[in-house]
Chains A and B, each alone.
Chain A
Amino acid sequence: MKFGVVVFPGSNCDHDAFYAISDVLHQPVEFIWHQSEDLANCDALILPGGFAHGDYLRTGAIARFSPVMKSVEKFSKNGGLVLGICNGFQILLEAGLLPGAVMRNTGLRYICRHVHIRVENTATPFTQAATPGQILKIPIAHNDGNYTCDPQTLAELHAHRQIVFRYTTADGRDDAAGNPNGSMENIAGICNREGNVAGLMPHPERAVEAALDSADGLVIFRSMVEAFVGAAKATA
Chain B
Amino acid sequence: MATASAEIKVTAEIAAEHGLSAPEYARVQQILGRDPNITELGIFSVMWSEHCSYKSSKVHLKRLPVRGKLVVQGPGENAGLVDIGDGLVAAFKIESHNHPSFVEPFQGATTGVGGILRDIFTMGARPIAVLDSLRFGPITSDANSASRQANVSAETISKNRRILDGVIRGVASYGNSFGVPTVGGEVCFEPCYSQNPLVNALALGIARKEDLFFAKARGTGNPVIYVGAKTGRDGIHGASLLASAEFTEESQQKRPNVQVGDPFVEKLLLEACLEAMTTGAVVAIQDMGAAGLTCSTTEMASRGGTGIEIDLARVPQRETGMTPYEIMLSESQERMLLVAEKGRESEVLNVFKKWGLDAVVVGEVAEGGLLRVKDHGQVVAEIPAHPLAEEGPVYHRPMSPPVPAKESAADWFLFAPSDKNLTENFKRLLASPAIASKGWITEQYDTMVRTNTLAVPGASDAAVVRIKGTKRALALATDGNGRWCQLNPRLGAIHAVAEAARNVACSGARPIAATNCLNFGSPEKPEVMWQFSEVIDGIAAACNALETPVTGGNVSFYNETLGHSIYPTPVIGVLGVIEDATTVLKIAFRNAGDIIILLDGLNDPAPVTVEAASARAAGLACEFSSSEYSKSLAGLVAGQPPAIDLAAEKRLQQCLLALASSQSIQSAHDLSDGGLAVTLAESCFAAPQLGARMTLEHDAPAESFLFGERGARAVISIAPAKLDGVLYLARQHGVAAKKIGHVTSDSIFSIQYNGSAIIEESVEALRDIWSHSLERALKQ
Contacts and interface: CB of A to CB of B under 8 A. Distances in A.
Given A53-B264, A211-B466, A109 B444 contact: yes
Interface string B461-504: 00000101000000000000000000000000000000000000
The winner among A20, A53, A211 for most chain B CB atoms within 10 A is: A211
B267 interface: yes
Interface size class on chain B is 20 to 34
Given A51-B177, A205-B451, A211-B581, A111 B444 contact: yes
A187 to B, nearest CB: 21
A90 to B, nearest CB: 14
Interface string A80-113: 0000000000000000000000000000011111
B446 A141 contact: yes
B172 interface: yes
Interface string A7-43: 0011011011001100100000000000000000000
B443 A211 contact: no
Given A19-B468, A206-B448, A54 B356 contact: no
Interface in B545-573: none
Interface residues of A, number: 31
A10 B454 contact: no
B447 A112 contact: yes
A10 B177 contact: yes
B582 A9 contact: no
Interface string A127-146: 00000000000010101000
A54 B262 contact: yes
Contacts of A50: 179
A226 interface: no
A55 interface: yes
9 contacts: A10-B268, A12-B179, A20-B451, A50-B179, A53-B264, A112-B446, A113-B443, A206-B451, A213-B456
A54 B451 contact: no
Given A10-B177, A19-B451, A212-B451, A110 B446 contact: yes
A16 B446 contact: no
A10 B268 CA distance: 7
B438 to A, nearest CB: 13
B178 interface: yes
Contacts of B262: 54
Given A20-B451, A50-B179, A54-B265, 14 more contacts: A9-B356, A10-B264, A23-B468, A51-B179, A54-B262, A110-B172, A110-B176, A112-B443, A112-B446, A205-B451, A206-B449, A206-B451, A211-B466, A212-B451
B588 to A, nearest CB: 12
Contacts of B447: 112
Contacts of A49: 449
A33 to B, nearest CB: 8
Contacts of A213: 456
A141 B454 contact: no
Contacts of B264: 9-10, 51, 53-56
A98 B443 CA distance: 29
B445 interface: yes
A215 B61 CA distance: 47
A139 B176 CA distance: 14
Contact of A16 (B444, B450, B466): B450
A141 B177 contact: no
Contacts of A20: 451
Given A15-B450, A211-B582, A54 B444 contact: no
Given A53-B264, A56-B264, A13 B177 contact: no
Given A9-B355, A141-B449, A112 B444 contact: yes
A110 B444 CA distance: 5
Contacts of B445: 110, 112
A12 B267 contact: yes
Nearest to A139: B448
Interface string B520-549: 000000000000000000000000000000
B327 to A, nearest CB: 25
A149 B744 CA distance: 48
A28 B173 CA distance: 33
Interface string B142-184: 0000000000000000000000000000001100111100000
A29 to B, nearest CB: 15
Contacts of A56: 264
A13 B466 contact: no
A208 B264 CA distance: 27
A48 to B, nearest CB: 10
A16 B446 CA distance: 14
The winner among B263, B355, B449, B456 for most chain A CB atoms within 10 A is: B449
Contacts of A13: 179, 449
Interface string A204-226: 01101001110000000000000
A195 B173 CA distance: 34
Contacts of B581: 211
Contact of A54 (B172, B177, B355, B449): B177
B704 interface: no
B55 to A, nearest CB: 39
B449 A12 contact: yes
A5 to B, nearest CB: 14
A141 B176 contact: yes
Contacts of B454: 211-212
Interface string A145-175: 0000000000000000000000000000000
Interface string B14-52: 000000000000000000000000000000000000000
A51 B176 CA distance: 9
B656 to A, nearest CB: 21
B450 A111 contact: no
Contacts of A55: 177, 264
B171 to A, nearest CB: 11
Nearest to B268: A9
10 A-B pairs with the lowest CB-CB distances in the bound complex, closest first: A12-B179, A54-B264, A51-B177, A16-B451, A141-B446, A112-B446, A110-B444, A10-B264, A206-B448, A113-B443
A91 to B, nearest CB: 15
